[in-house]
Amino acid sequence: MEIRPLYDRIIVKRIDQQRQTASGIVIPDTVTEKPEQGDVIAVGNGRLLQDGSLRPLQVARGDRVLFGKYAGQAVKVEDQELLVLKEEDVLGIIASGGSAHLKKVA
């Protein structure tokens, strides 16, 4: 099934984080937090401005993005959990080619 979000919304598939510590201890799903990174799988046409024109989105399909812990709306499509975000909920685009190791700040 193909999903096309409207206006300035994007569809993101969360990236599963590693669930094992360096010493080999497996962390169960019940205590892990949902990842705050994901791959953009679909984007809308752009943000509708007051004059009726569309401003293109800065994120594109295939980008890896960083978003807030409570951002967006979770939906389930064909047994796959996806996240619908507005472009303004995206905190940044993670550059391809380099690996991003993000550390959570309290």
pLDDT tier at 3, thresholds 50, 70, 90: confident
Q: What angle do CA 41, 47, 52 make, to 5 degrees?
A: 145
Distance of CA 58 to the CA centre of its chain: 14
pLDDT tens for residues 33-76?
566 889 999 999 988 889 989 899 999 999 999 998 888 888 88
Six token digits for residue 2: 């193909």
Residue 63 lies in a domain: yes
- Are 5 and 41 in contact, with CB atoms under 8 Å apart? no
Q: Is residue 57 part of a domain?
A: yes
* Domain coverage including residue 28: 9-94
Is residue 1 included in any domain, yes or no?
Answer: no
CA dist 12 and 10 (Å) reads: 6
- Does residue 105 belong to any structural domain of this protein? no
Q: What is the mean pLDDT of the chain?
A: 80
Q: Does residue 67 contact residue 36 with C-beta atoms inside 8 Å? A: yes
Within a domain: 34: yes
0.85 cut: is pTM over it? no
Residue 39 lies in a domain: yes
Domain containing 58 — which CATH number? 2.30.33.40
Number of compact structural domains in the chain: 1
**Is there a domain that residue 33 lies in?**
yes
Note whether residue 106 is domain-resident.
no
